[in-house]
Amino acid sequence: MSADYTVRPMLSAAEIATRVDALAVEINSYFEPTENLIVVGLLRGSFIFIADLVRRLSLPVEVDFIEAASYGSSTQSSRQVRILKDLHTTVEGLDVLLVEDIVDTGHTLSHVLRLLATRHPNRLEVCALLSKPSRREEEIDARWIGFEIPDEFVVGYGIDYAQRNRNMPYIGAVEFA
Ligand code: IMP
Ligand code: MG
């Protein structure tokens, strides 16, 4: 595969694994083991993170996925978000943990959170692997953030650039040639 960019390593597979361990410890102690927890992955970028995270949870969990797409210029604060694939599960009365790869402007997550809130979950919490706080346009109340990173375009560990690089085991910043 030829590419007109290189990837500069930012977070190693070992650093990610250590952080996911710590997040799982916090999540395990935060939720009651009531068998009402559903972990919802936001596709597609969260697929590796959620796979690693749920394997470290000692709580009984269900897993489901939702897929959203945003359109319009990323410089517009009123970006439209559309649901491409909805949940299978009815989340009313359940504890929902929404798992996201990266919070950038916050538009995608705030749209999905508003949608899920209309379905009356018992709890609705967010665990995002990465956050770029300097890019935020909408406030996001995420209880767990893996790493805060600078305003750089990153790939790997599920996160893509033009659908590539999701399979990299570490996270790196894209450097255009
Ligand atoms: P937001 O709606 O601006 O918060 O965008 C969130 C989505 O944009 C993330 O779930 C990613 O799919 C994508 N995104 C944001 N920053 C990056 C990046 O650095 N690399 C790859 N995708 C990104
Ligand atoms: Mg995403």
Q: Please write the tens of the pLDDT for every residue from 32-73.
A: 998 899 999 999 999 999 999 999 999 999 999 999 998 765
159 lines ligand 1 (CB under 6 A): yes
Distance 22 CA to ligand 2 centre (A): 22
| Ligand nearest, relative to CA of residue 130 | 1
What is the C-alpha to C-alpha distance for residues 118 and 120, in angstroms, rounded to an integer? Answer: 6
The secondary structure of residue 46, as a DSSP letter, is T
Report the C-alpha gap between 36 and 39 in whole angstroms. Answer: 10
Residues designated catalytic: 104
Q: Could you report the per-residue pLDDT of 113-131, keeping only the tens digit for each?
A: 999 999 999 999 999 999 9
Alpha-carbon dihedral 81, 137, 98, 24, rounded to 10 degrees? 150
Sorting pLDDT into bands at 50, 70 and 90, what band is 177? confident
What is the arithmetic mean of pLDDT over 122-150?
Answer: 97
125 and 143 in contact (C-beta within 8 Å)? yes
Partnered with residue 164 across adjacent β-strands are: 161
Whether 107 lines ligand 1, by a CB cut-off of 6 Å, is yes
Q: In whole angstroms, what is the distance from residue 122 CA to residue 32 CA?
A: 12
Q: How many domains does the chain have?
A: 1
Q: Any idea what the CATH number is for the domain that residue 43 is in?
A: 3.40.50.2020
Whether 171 contacts 148, CB under 8 Å: no
Measured in Å, residue 100 CA sits from the centre of ligand 2 at 6
Mean pLDDT across the chain: 94
- Which residue's entry shows tokens 């009402």? 36
- Specify the pLDDT at position 138: 95
DSSP 159: B
* Backbone φ, ψ for residue 143 (5° rounding): -70, -35
Q: In which domain, by residue range, is 158 found?
A: 5-69+78-176
Nearest CA to ligand 1 atom 12: 45
**Token pair of 140, please?**
């996001």
Residues bordering ligand 2, an ion, CB closer than 5 Å = 45, 101
DSSP 133: G
37-43 and 95-103 beta bridge pairing: parallel
3-class SS of residue 80? strand
Q: Give CA angle at 25 (128, 43), nearest 5°.
A: 30
Q: Identify which ligand lies nearest to the alpha carbon of 102.
A: 1
Which of the listed residues 47, 82, 159 should we mutate to test ligand 1's pocket, taking the one with most ligand atoms within 8 A of CB? 159
